[in-house]
Amino acid sequence: MNVTTLPKPPRVGLVSLGCPKALVDSERIMTKLRADGYDMSPDYAGADVVLVNTCGFLDSAKEESLEAIGEAIAENGRVVVTGCMGKEADVIRARFPDVLAVTGPQQYEEVVAAVHEAAPPIASPFVDLVPEAGLKLTPRHYSYLKISEGCNHRCAFCIIPHLRGDLVSRRPDAVLREAEKLVAAGTRELLVISQDTSAYGVDVRHKAWPWKGGEVRAHMTDLARELGKLGGAPGEVWVRLHYVYPYPHVNDAIPLMAEGLVLPYLDIPFQHASPNVLRRMRRPANDAKVLERIRSWRALVPELAIRSTFVVGFPGETEEDFAYLLAWLEEAQLDRVGAFKFEPVAGAPATEMDQQVPEEVKQERFDLVMQLSARISAEKLARKVGSAIDVLIDAVDGETGGASGRSKADAPEIDGEVHLRDSGGLEPGMIVTARIEDADEHDLYGVPL
Ligand code: SF4
């Protein structure tokens, strides 16, 4: 049996100089890095790389920036420079030839790439909140918003609680302020992430904080509602909830979807369906009535898209357990399904469990889950042909005149895309209505109206 040992997450130190705009840049970069699994270091010594966000407005500010870079080089040695002074890369490199990279203001993508290069993130389907493909650069029209760190559960295949500790929720007002700045900087879609979004605020007993003349509780429903109001009219900013466990109070998020404040989308990491396997996995919210609840959610919000991930070949998964999973998937008709073959990770209890499943059986089961979910997905997408749906544009192809984007049912990187032809005048970040003309297993094809 191969056992994977995961290193500690890399740590980034930040020195942020300059005006409020530079601070927004710093926060945006840090949000992305946190979403990619980085930890922050409060000092030079504990950092794997130090990011210096500089100001170049006045000569005195430039000098202060150069001093800050010099201090970071002396104290740590591994330094990435960004911000307004980054425009004068020659000056910086002449004085500090050892800086790892120099990028300019608002070059979020480049600076995040430089940090990835200097201290590569851990990529593991069992640890990452953002998909591996998502480690590529986030365009600025969507942003990951991390609302808590750590987890109170102890799932047998997972080492997150060991790596990151128990749940620590961020203050809701701080999350909302960060979201406001992201929206002001061009974000049209907020992707709420955490290890367990439905548990948000449990650690602070859902305490309320002042917000805009009223109060907001540290609670998934309250936070989601306030996030949904950020764009002005409902639907101006898409709010997508990831890693939601089906606790009873998730029912309260469904009316927010009906009101258009939150996207009709739930990412629920079910991981399995067989009660026997779920028990061995020690999964939270292991509710035998979950199919009934899915039905009741869909009765309220028929367009609700549910995505989930499943682990096949968990130790002790029998043929019956696996058949149960396939029958459950057929019944649940989930919109998007990702599967992983169980992978033993050093330090996770499941690694030491008896009845490990042979690799070839894992592969067989993986293939069967993927085939079944591809068929269900194709059937569901085929039913959308002829309808008009909203599409958030991700990319425009200047040569072909085509564009690609995503519907409300598609999270970036992990779900499908909508490909539009004849899409002159579109730009990334625009939300347009499109007529769907065709569909395949994963993607839709259409034309803007
Ligand atoms: S809920 Fe389970 S799988 Fe998710 S982070 Fe917590 S312990 Fe890990």
pLDDT tens for 284-319 read 766 668 999 999 999 999 999 999 999 999 999 999
Which amino acid residue places its CA nearest to atom 8 of ligand 1? 158
Q: How far is it, in rounded angstroms, from Cα 120 to Cα 113?
A: 9
Q: Is 417 in the pocket of ligand 1 (CB under 6 A)?
A: no
| Euclidean distance between CA atoms 251 and 424, whole angstroms | 41
Token couple for 300: 């309220």
Can you give the pLDDT at residue 133? Answer: 40
- What pLDDT score was predicted for residue 20? 59
Is there an atom of ligand 1 within 6 Å of 415 CB? no
Give the nearest ligand 1 atom to 152 CA: 6
249 pLDDT tier (thresholds 50, 70, 90): confident
Q: What is the pLDDT of residues 91-124, one digit of tens each?
A: 899 999 999 999 887 777 788 889 988 988 876 6
212 within ligand 1 shell (Cβ under 6 A): no
Q: What are phi and psi of 366, to 5 degrees?
A: -60, -50
Q: Is any atom of ligand 1 closer than 6 Å to the C-beta of 284?
A: yes
Asked if residue 334 has its Cβ within 6 Å of ligand 1, the reply is no
pLDDT at residue 138 tops 60: no
Sort residue 201 into left (φ over 0), alpha (ψ -120 to 50) or beta.
left
Confirm or reject: Cβ of 196 under 6 Å from ligand 1. Answer: yes
Model confidence at 49: pLDDT above 70: yes
Backbone angles phi, psi at 435, to 5 degrees: -90, 130
What is the pTM (predicted TM-score) of this model? Answer: 0.78
Q: For the ranges 110-114, 214-218, 271-275, 385-389, which has the lowest average pLDDT?
A: 110-114
Q: How far is the CA of 126 from the centre of ligand 1 (A)?
A: 9
Query: With a 6 A CB cut-off, is 153 part of the ligand 1 pocket?
Result: yes
- What's the gap in Å between 243 CA and the centre of ligand 1? 10
> Which residues does 279 contact at the CB level (< 8 Å), separation at least 6?
286
CA–CA distance, 342 with 229 (Å, rounded to integer): 40
Ligand 1 neighbour 338 (Cβ under 6 A): no
- Which of 157, 193, 196 is the pocket-test mutation for ligand 1 (most atoms within 8 Å of CB)? 196
Distance (angstroms) between ligand 1 centre and the Cα of 195 equals 6
Give every CB contact of residue 233 below 8 A, 6+ residues apart in sequence: none
Instruction: Please give the mean pLDDT across all residues of the chain.
Output: 88
Residues whose CB falls within 8 Å of the CB of residue 191, separated by 6 or more in sequence, listed in order? 142, 143, 144, 145, 240, 242, 411, 412
Determine the pLDDT at residue 132: 45
195 in contact with ligand 1, CB cutoff 6 A: yes
pLDDT, tens digit, 9 for 90 and up, residues 152-203:
999 998 887 887 789 999 999 999 998 988 888 788 999 998 889 999 999 9
With cut-offs at 50, 70 and 90, classify the pLDDT of residue 48.
very high
What is the Å distance from ligand 1's center to 279 Cα?
A: 14
